Amino acid sequence: TVYPDYFYSEKDFDKSHMGYKPLTIPAGVEAQPLAVPPLLAPDKVDGNDIYYTIEAQEGESQILPGKKTKTWGYNAPLLGQTLVVKTGQRVHVRLKNSLPVLTSFHWHGMEVPGPITDGGCHAPVYPGEEKDIEFTVKQPAALTWLHAHPCPSTAMQVWMGLAMGVVVTDDNEARLPIPKNYGVDEFPIILQDRTFHDNQLDYRADYDPMGVFGEVPLINGVVRPYVDVTTQKVRLLFLGGSDRREWRLHFENDLTMTQIGGDDSFLRHPIDVKKLLIGPGERQQVIVDFAGYKEGDVVSLYTDDFKLVEFRIHAFEKDDRELPFNIFTPDDPAVNSEAPVRHVTMDDHDKINGLRFSMERIDMKQTLNSVEYWDVTNTNNSASGMLHPFHIHGAHFLVVSRNGQKPNPNEINVYKDTIEVGPGETVRLKVYFQNAGVFMYHCHIIEHEDAGMMAQIQIVDPKDPDKTYKLMDMETI
Ligand code: C2O
Ligand code: CU
Ligand code: CU
């Protein structure tokens, strides 16, 4: 089967909502090669231990013709370098803040202890300061990411450019017959949108509590990118990096994408899709087979009817490798029968279970490794509501059902950490944490998160049940 449509109903798309902004390419912008973030080089490797420095910094980027844009990035003027870690590795990171404001370094999708290593609101790094963290990679191959997460200015800092890819690799990936030559036949595609004011970003000017749309698409920080295709098959690691915008991807000529992965793992079985919706915070991995094209052809990737990326076909060798039916075996642990189903509601644009976020309030507790159902409901009514991308820090989950029905084909048997929930919809998740600590869960429309559609859970290790965590408050931060 080839799935022909998005797995969401069109009336729930953002096009119908207040504040929607269509995309545009500013006059005078020529097509330019897609920027591929360089791989971050380690400071040191010592057996299984690997050491990195990640520096949040100010910079300037030539995004539009004319004046450069003031931007922020990690070891780069904008976005960052790609960090590649391997399952089982012990990773040591020196976090350095060279910005004029405090920031935090959140590992979205990485299963690391909270709240300090996780890098949410309780882990500020002040201007000029350095902090060291370390963690063991306990998860399978996937594209995760690092982004700023200081409360309540996550959205502004991500808008300025603080986001980078963190790729997890493992032995399973190494043996799969898939493109894996980074920058040649494997590309991270960070999807974002920004508005420019005389070539500068001005988050306050564009602020909208319902979520900020940018007018100009930025793919890996580039407007109007093209990719030179030199292999028959290309693997794309999509990352929904917008504050608010959903991306509704499809190729020209209805070219099929073979989806192989979601947020935090490969899919058990690859599936063929024509269309792919990617919400804020989500990742989806696909392989595109250009067998039907020849040197000189151009085939483009669109969001709705807007052209995002041109793929320029060059001569390539034949590649008839076939994917096995099974490409990943997810764990599917039994649900703790003593645990009641948890109910989480996303209300209006700024509340979880009726409350705005408080840094000093623990909203729920769950035991380490206890597998529990979370029923996550978007309480916006279906006449006027929008999709809310629900995200949990420090854990992956399995999607069990949507309104009691089967989940979408690309969210079955795959590890997720961010899931779109439609207006009036309840999505049942199986959630378990393999690290203790305090973790946030929230809507990933970043303005909703900053406004308070966020809460926190404490994961209790039965071996150390009385452990407490120092929670920051808005005053001291
Ligand atoms: Cu990308 Cu609190 O998360
Ligand atoms: Cu996160
Ligand atoms: Cu939301």
User: What structural domains and CATH numbers belong to the chain?
Assistant: 14-173 (2.60.40.420), 178-313 (2.60.40.420), 342-460 (2.60.40.420)
> Ligand 1 pocket, 146 CB below 6 A?
no
| Cα–ligand 2 centroid distance for 393 (angstroms) | 4
Expressed in angstroms and rounded, the spacing between residue 76 Cα and the centre of ligand 3 is: 30
List CB-based neighbours of ion ligand 2 within 5 Å.
Answer: 108, 393
Atom of ligand 1 nearest to the CA of 149: 2
Distance between Cα 448 and ligand 3 center (Å): 5
Residue 152, preceding peptide bond in cis (omega within 30° of 0)? yes
CB of residue 283 inside a 6 A radius of ligand 1 = no
- Spatial strand order of the sheet with 364-367 comes to 364-367, 454-460, 437-443, 388-392, 418-421
Beta strands in 10-100, from DSSP E residues, in sequence order: 32-33, 44-46, 49-61, 69-74, 79-80, 83-86, 90-97
Q: How many CB atoms lie within 10 A of CB 358?
A: 15
Q: Torsions phi, psi of 269, nearest 5?
A: -125, 135
Nearest ligand, measured from the Cα of 108: 2
Q: Is 437 in the pocket of ligand 1 (CB under 6 A)?
A: no
Residues around ion ligand 3, judged by CB within 5 A, are 388, 443, 445, 448
Nearest ligand 1 atom to alpha carbon 108: 1
Ligand 1, atom 1, lies closest to the CA of 108
Q: Which residues pair with 309 in a beta bridge?
A: 301
Interatomic CA distance for residues 296 and 319, integer angstroms: 19
Whether 281 lines ligand 1, by a CB cut-off of 6 Å, is: yes
Q: Which residues of the chain fall short of a pLDDT of 50? A: none
Sign of CA dihedral 50, 234, 74, 472: negative
How far is residue 43's CA from residue 301's CA, in Å, rounded to a whole number? 37
Instruction: Answer yes or no: is the ipTM higher than 0.95.
Output: yes
**Vertex 63: Cα angle to 18 and 102 (nearest 5):** 75
pLDDT at 242: 98
Q: Is the CB of 393 under 6 A from ligand 1?
A: yes
What gap in Å lies between CA 304 and CA 112, rounded to an integer?
36
Minimum-distance ligand to the CA of 423? 3
The CA 241 to ligand 1 mean position distance, Å, reads: 11
* Strands 454-460 and 437-443, bridge-based pairing: antiparallel
Q: Are strands 225-229 and 306-313 parallel, antiparallel or unpaired?
A: parallel
Tell me if 311 sits within 8 A of 226, measured CB to CB: yes
Compute, in angstroms, the gap from residue 269 CA to the centroid of ligand 2: 26
pLDDT at 7: 94
Atom of ligand 1 nearest to the CA of 454: 2
pLDDT of residue 476: 67
Query: Nearest C-alpha to atom 3 of ligand 1 is from which residue?
Result: 108
User: Closest ligand to 107 CA?
Assistant: 2
* Helix (H), strand (E) at residue 189: strand 186-194
Provide the residue count of the chain.
477
User: Does residue 448 line the site of ligand 1, with CB under 6 A?
Assistant: no
Question: Ligand 1: does its nearest atom lie under 6 Å from the Cβ of 280?
Answer: no
What's residue 477's pLDDT? Answer: 63
Q: How far apart are CA 119 and CA 73, in angstroms?
A: 16
CA of 252 to the centre of ligand 3 (A): 31
Report pLDDT for 203: 98
Q: How far is the centre of ligand 2, averaged over its atoms, from the C-alpha of 64 (Å)?
A: 30
